[in-house]
Amino acid sequence: MKFLHLVWAALNRRRARTAFTLLSVVAAFLLFGLLESVNSVFAQVGNSIGAAHRLVTVSSGGLMNSLPLGLQNQIRTVPGVQLVTSETFFGGTYQKPKNFISVIAVGPKFWDLHTSLKLSVEARRAFDATQTGAIVGAALARRFHWKVGDQIPIKAMIYPRKGGSYTWMFDIVGIYHASKPLMEQQLFFRWRYLDEARLFGSGTVGWYVEQIADPKEAGRIARAIDALSANSGHETRTQTSSAFAADFYSQYVDFGLIVSAVMGAVFFTLLLLTGNTMAQAVRERTPELAVLKTLGFSNRTVLALVLAESVLLVVLGGAIGLVLAGATVHALQAQMGSELPMMPVGAGIWLRGLAAMVAIGLVVGALPARRGMRLSIVNALAGR
Amino acid sequence: MSALVEIGNLSKVYHRGRQTVEVLHHIDLAVEAGEFVALMGPSGSGKTTLLNLIGGLDSPTDGTITVAGERIDQLGQGALARWRAAHVGFVFQFYNLLPMLSAQRNVELPLLLTKLSGSQRRRNASVALQLVGLADRAAHKPGELSGGQQQRVAIARAIVSDPTLLVCDEPTGDLDRQSAEEVLTLLQRLNREHGKTIVMVTHDPKAASHAGRIIQLDKGTLVPLEQAAA
Ligand SMILES: Nc1ncnc2c1ncn2[C@@H]1O[C@H](COP(=O)(O)OP(=O)(O)O)[C@@H](O)[C@H]1O
Ligand SMILES: [Mg+2]
């Protein structure tokens, strides 16, 4: 510890260079923090569950497999579950094939559970009373100039009607609002309409969403829900809504692979960059290291000083990067809510980050440190 | 009583590629405790090499070096480093202070290797700076000091851990007349009042005149006294 000021002085010797190197370390670990934040949601898929107010139950065979309607009443009896609704992905296009809309058929309790989607009492009443009623997001309504009372045809992606037609008519009975336009892009209609009119698949839903009383109970409740269907041929997996979102995306991308590839490239670049900086810094200070050795500093102390310098540099930059990543995730979550497939930058990410920082610092410092350790005092003093 | 520094049949050979250069040939030398010795000789005669061997910065090819009763010619690198920290103070031509550290911190450097507490280190360094007349410059970085002042800081660093032996390699070689005089007077005081044994390499006869004894080195051999006087 008493040597710390020596390490600090060495870093301060070329402020601009240190600042530049620090900045690249900050950038690398900001990226690391963000990617890990997303990645840990993906990693959590299928694993144990963190704290959450809302759980999602999907078929363990994947999102595209449906679940029986009868499961809903059973889920409702699981202690700790306050509300259950079913949701079924419908999808669709309006007028042109490129006008894709996220259309979802929902159970009656849907609006009680998703209170962040605001709609008027009249709209709710009309939705409950109208078989073909639909409620659309405000942003979506603006996009297609829809208003309450309009009747709109939607071309279904998956489900044909009895008789084979893919065109479904909906009566817009309300507009919902959310905190972000991004979340006002969907069309919700009654599952009962879907189920009575579709050619196949009746009696099934896509997935269930549960509201639970105590977030800390999430793990236990999820296990209890999954136990209901154990060995039934339609086994389920219950997870937090953010893990569900990640699960949804991972149908399309192997996120873990992307993270590994990107971070591999970033850290490799960082190694070259900081490695070069450290080599240069130590070369410049050869006479100073020779003086320390003259005064009786052992080879090992000199080695440790140089290693400490590079580790400190990387840990300092890395910590700033992770703090920034944490703040970024926090801000994004405040904006987009719990559906955002990102986890807070927590202890796990910090631990892995710190391990990476120390490892990079040691690797980067190793060669210069060895050079400093091996330097011959008399030659260095004579400038040889 | 035996001498503080005793050198017997000392040789040093350097290898430059396949070439070998014998820089010192069979040197015998004794320096008594409390002596101030000036080591003179033409450039390339081996003065620095000899001084580095006495100070334990390098090991001889052949021969013995005994300092304060301890054989240092056979010590390994680690042991030699510990020995230097405990017994020798170094002063160089170009001061060799760490540019990023204040005078105070530079002087404290050797004390980092001791068991002294932070406040003890600070106190001892202050005393050393006081001794060289630079107490008021403790917070200055080397770049903010004149050459003579930097050399006095270097001397403070050399004496802060109270070594028995000071080795100085052309300590006035880079200084103007007046600063050189100040540094030499300081070394003389350290020798007379504080009993430090000093071996100083110098080119300058005027500098050498501050020493109690002058020895001459020529092409790696000590020149006998009578010849040196002639
Ligand atoms: N590490 C070394 N490798 C090769 N040659 C050296 C080395 N150190 C000193 N020499 C050679 O030894 C001779 C004496 O050098 P030195 O002791 O520095 O002389 P002085 O200090 O008297 O000028 C010079 O010719 C120098 O080139
Ligand atoms: Mg020399």
pLDDT tens string, chain A, 384 residues long: the values are 789 899 999 888 888 999 999 999 999 999 999 998 887 776 655 444 555 788 999 998 877 789 999 999 999 999 999 999 999 999 899 999 889 899 999 999 999 998 889 999 999 999 999 999 999 999 999 999 999 999 999 999 889 999 999 999 999 999 999 877 777 889 999 999 999 999 998 999 999 999 998 888 888 999 999 999 988 888 999 988 777 776 666 666 677 788 888 889 999 999 999 999 999 989 988 999 999 999 999 999 999 999 999 999 999 999 999 999 999 999 888 877 656 678 888 899 999 999 999 999 999 999 999 999 999 999 998 887
Partner residue opposite B100 with nearest CB, options A12, A295, A296? A12
Residue at A377 is within a domain: yes
B154-185: pLDDT as tens digits: 999 999 999 999 999 999 999 999 999 999 99
> Two tokens at A93?
């296009």
Cα of B12 from ligand 2 centre, angstroms: 15
Regarding beta strands B70-71 and A236-240, do their DSSP bridges make them parallel or antiparallel, or are they unpaired? unpaired
Phi first, then psi, for residue A279 (nearest 5°) are: -60, -45
Same domain flag for A105 and A19? no
What 8-state DSSP symbol labels residue B50? H
Do A83 and A226 lie in a common domain?
Answer: yes
User: Which residue's CA is the closest to the ligand 1 atom numbered 18?
Assistant: B48
Q: Three-state SS for B220?
A: coil
Same-domain check for residues A76 and A213: yes
Residues A347, A303 within the same domain? yes
A101 within domain boundaries: yes
Homologous superfamily of B3-229 in CATH? Answer: P-loop containing nucleotide triphosphate hydrolases (3.40.50.300)
Q: Tell me, what's the pLDDT at A12?
A: 87
From the number of C-beta atoms within 10 Å of its C-beta (0-12, 13-18, 19+), residue B1 rates as exposed
- Cα A130 from Cα A333, distance rounded (Å): 35
Q: Which residues surround ligand 2, an ion (CB under 5 A)?
A: B 48
A25 & A146 share domain: no
Looking at the structure, tell me whether residues A213 and A267 fall in a common domain.
no
Three-state SS string across chain A, please? CCCHHHHHHHHHCCHHHHHHHHHHHHHHHHHHHHHHHHHHHHHHCCCCCCCCCEEEEEECCCCCCCEECCHHHHHHCCCCEEEEEEEEECCEECCCCCCEEEEEEECCCHHHHCCCCECCHHHHHHHHHCCCEEEEEHHHHHHHCCCCCCEEEEEECCCCECCCCCEEEEEEEEEEECCCHHHCCEEEEEHHHHHHHECCCCCEECEEEEEECCHHHHHHHHHHHHHHCCCCCCCEEEEEHHHHHHHHHCCCCCHHHHHHHHHHHHHHHHHHHHHHHHHHHHHHCHHHHHHHHHCCCCHHHHHHHHHHHHHHHHHHHHHHHHHHHHHHHHHHHHHHHHHCCCCCCCHHHHHHHHHHHHHHHHHHHHHHHHHHHHCCHHHHHCCC
Domain membership of residue A246 (yes or no) is: no
Whether A238 is in a domain gets the answer: no
User: Nearest ligand to the C-alpha of residue B12?
Assistant: 1
Nearest to A158 by CA among A279, A54, A64, A22: A64
Evaluate whether residue A241 is within a structural domain: no
Same domain (yes/no): A146, A103: yes
- Residues A18-42: tens digit of each pLDDT: 999 999 999 999 999 999 888 777 6
| Domain identity same for A82 and A229 | yes
* Count of domains observed in chain A: 2
Residues B182/B155, Cβ–Cβ less than 8 Å: no
- Tell me the β-bridge partners of A189: A105, A134
User: A–B: how many Cβ contacts below 8 A?
Assistant: 62
Phi, psi at residue A133, to the nearest 5°? -70, 145
Per-residue pLDDT of chain B (230 residues; tens, 9 = 90+): 578 999 999 999 998 888 999 999 999 999 999 999 999 999 999 999 999 999 999 999 999 999 999 999 999 999 999 999 999 999 999 999 999 999 999 999 999 999 999 999 999 999 999 999 999 999 999 999 999 999 999 999 999 999 999 999 999 999 999 999 999 999 999 999 999 999 999 989 999 999 999 999 999 999 876 555 44
A9: chain B residues, CB-CB within 8 Å = 98, 100-101
Contact B82 A13 (CB under 8 A): no
A39 and A70, same domain (yes or no): no
Q: What is the pLDDT of residues A306-352, one digit of tens each?
A: 999 999 999 999 999 999 999 999 988 887 765 667 888 889 999 99
A10 vs B110: CB contact, 8 Å cut-off?
A: no
How much distance in Å is there from the Cα of B50 to the middle of ligand 2?
Answer: 9
CA of B47 to the centre of ligand 2 (A): 6
Residues of A with CB under 8 A from a CB of B: 2-3, 5-6, 9-10, 12-13, 287-288, 291-299, 377-378, 381-382
Looking at the complex, report in whole angstroms how far the Cα of residue B56 sits from the nearest Cα belonging to chain A.
9
User: Cβ–Cβ of B90/A298 closer than 8 Å?
Assistant: no
Find the domain containing A128 and state its range. 66-233
Residue nearest (by alpha carbon) to ligand 1 atom 4: B14
